A and B are shown apart, each in its own frame.
Chain A
Amino acid sequence: MGKRTAIVGTGQTKCSSARKDVNGQELINEAVRRALEDADLTLSDIDAIVIGNMDHFEGINYVDTWSVDGSGAYLKPIIKVTTGGTTGTTVAFAGYYHVASGLFDKVLTVAWEKNSESDTTGAIVTAIEPILERPTFGGAINAMALQASMYMAKYGATEEDAARVAVRDRKHALNNPYAHLHLNITVEDVMKSPMISYPIKYLDMCPRTDGACALIFASEDTAEKICPKPVWVLGLANRHNYTLFGDQPLVPMITMVEAAQALYAKIGITEPLKQFDVMELYMPSSYSGVQWIEELQLCPYGGGPELIASGVTDMGGECPINPSGGVLSTNAIGATGSQRVAECTLQIMGKAEQRQVPGAKMALASGFGGCFWSDLMALGARKPG
């Protein structure tokens, strides 16, 4: 067990499909300045910086050095981490590792993406085994659709079951000024939207977004002096699996099953739906919003559609999922995992404004990416024992 570590500040940028008013460094800077302001710190207080984005997206490779003007890393330790879609959560994990190790007291993390600068699907395809799988692989939508078709066949779930998630997350986003999309839609709208990769329709899928998200981690030595309500990292787990997509059982998604088991055992979660007050989950399609809550043990396998339809995961329900509007409303891919962590932090700090879950004290953030990889981070108001 390392030093107890808390998040003491968050900073998010305005998100849109193309932030043409800023270049990448300026976008990063917008998030960093907001996080410092939120924590009432200055750059000189920061001991180290972790940065991350997707490989190949903007065509800029030494992002840790290139970004220094924006990140504030001039003559400070900075490292880049990148793990595909999980980058944003991995960046947060790395911030936590820095502080929990005792080597650094206050660490800034920044995760970002300018999807508008690349062909997102083409860039994602470069992550895939190049000789045998890449020639017929169609990107993230394709991967999500393959898993969805298997889930539907196994449990008899319908396209309408998934559409309910698309409606829920878009409805939640209406209360989030940081969300990229503000869509007031119905199940019928989702069902009528164009089929982009069977069974995924246009409104079932996340957008491509420009945006950045910064977090500030501090050790137990200073967290309570910096912030009246620091948000403590209770535990985290990540599980990665094979590179060849076809090696893995897609239903259930084994990485999330194992990550959830490990995290829950570590921090004493036996009834996640009851014990967590709110969840921010990286679910890039509405179908993952139905399936992956099963892997997280919110309901039995095959029970996802019923749980979604019950309203338990809506705002006002027992455990609201994605009060921010989730990934279906904002997807600055490298930043997406950090945005989940930031939203959980805002909820526990009581700073989530119109989308506040009353009295939220325990939250779960997830990351997803790569070859069906899973990251989980649990956050809480109470300092861990």
Chain B
Amino acid sequence: MSQKKDQELLFVSSGEAEQPFEWSAGKHISKLLVEMRDHKRLIASKCPQCQKVLFPPRRVCADCFVEMDELVPLKGRGVIRCFTVLNFGFVDPNTGLQKPVPLASAYIQLDGTDTMFLHALEETDFHKIKIGMRVEPVWEEKRQGQALDIRHFKIIDE
């Protein structure tokens, strides 16, 4: 039998789509972002029922299902609870641009809070990062009221 040439199978591109979104930050996160932008300060919300302090601040404590009105100031320092260093590039859906790697990130428990939150670390050599290390935020000079007003967290000796 004669060898049939393999048929060409195609992917068809959508084109260079741009579809930006605008998300409401809400009452407490707006307050946090303004504090970050104008004063380089972080705030958390405190649950009137379980007394837990949650960062980022939000209106509802999911455990107790009650409204949180009390906002408490934080000092900003914290501790690394777990971490990774990503070497695998991908397209950031928020920006449409390739995410720069290596991206070191950690769940950080800020002093005075009962939750962890995700942010980038300055150190990208995983050999030099240990769970339990202390960190503090490194602020951008020009802040716009967004998560990356904190450029990353830096490991500190205390």
Contact = CB atoms under 8 A, between A and B. Distances in A.
Nearest to B148: A135
Given A132-B117, A136-B105, A198-B85, A20 B91 contact: no
Given A56-B93, A146-B84, A198-B83, 14 more contacts: A21-B9, A117-B11, A122-B92, A125-B90, A125-B92, A130-B21, A131-B29, A131-B146, A133-B118, A133-B147, A136-B119, A153-B82, A197-B84, A244-B117
B115 A244 contact: yes
B62 interface: yes
Contacts of A135: 94, 146-148
Interface in B114-137: 115-120, 126, 131
Given A122-B92, A132-B117, A197 B146 contact: no
A141 B120 CA distance: 15
Interface stretch (A88-96, A182-190, A245-253): A245-253
B149 to A, nearest CB: 10
Given A121-B90, A131-B29, A245-B118, A146 B107 contact: yes
B143 to A, nearest CB: 14
A22 to B, nearest CB: 9
Contacts of B29: 131-132
Q: Counting chain B CB atoms within 10 Å of each CB, which of A120, A126, A132, A246 scores highest?
A: A246
Given A131-B146, A136-B118, A123 B103 contact: no
A138 B21 CA distance: 20
Interface string B57-96: 0100010000000000000000001111111101111100
Contact of A242 (B62, B106, B147): B62
Nearest to B109: A246
Interface residues of B, number: 42
A148 B118 CA distance: 15
Contact of B62 (A197, A247, A250): A247
Contacts of B3: none
A149 B115 contact: no
Interface in A131-160: 131-139, 141-142, 145-150, 153
Nearest to B23: A130
B43 interface: no
Interface in A114-129: 116-117, 119-123, 125-126
B56 A132 contact: yes
B83 A126 contact: no
Nearest to B10: A20
A139 B93 CA distance: 11
Nearest to A241: B62
Contacts of B2: none
Contacts of B23: 130-131
Contact of A20 (B11, B99, B117): B11
Contact of A196 (B9, B11, B88, B116): B88
B32 to A, nearest CB: 8
A197 B85 contact: yes
Contacts of B90: 119-122, 125, 138-139
Contacts of A316: none
B115 A137 contact: no
A364 to B, nearest CB: 28
Interface in A247-275: 247, 250
Contacts of B87: 194-197
A131 B14 contact: no
Interface of B: 9-11, 14, 21, 23, 25, 29, 33, 54, 56, 58, 62, 81-88, 90-94, 99, 103, 105-107, 115-120, 126, 131, 146-148
A138 B131 contact: no
26 contacts: A21-B9, A56-B93, A117-B11, A123-B93, A125-B93, A125-B94, A130-B21, A131-B23, A131-B29, A131-B146, A132-B117, A132-B147, A135-B147, A136-B118, A138-B86, A142-B86, A146-B82, A146-B84, A146-B106, A150-B82, A150-B107, A196-B88, A198-B85, A199-B84, A200-B84, A246-B107
A200 to B, nearest CB: 8
A263 to B, nearest CB: 23
B103 A149 contact: no
A142 B105 contact: yes
Nearest to B88: A196
Interface string A59-101: 1000000000000000000000000000000000000000000
B120 A150 contact: no
Contact of A126 (B54, B84, B93): B93
A132 B148 CA distance: 8
A77 to B, nearest CB: 31
Nearest to A143: B84
Nearest to B82: A150
B105 to A, nearest CB: 5
Contact of A149 (B21, B58, B83, B116): B83
A195 B93 CA distance: 24
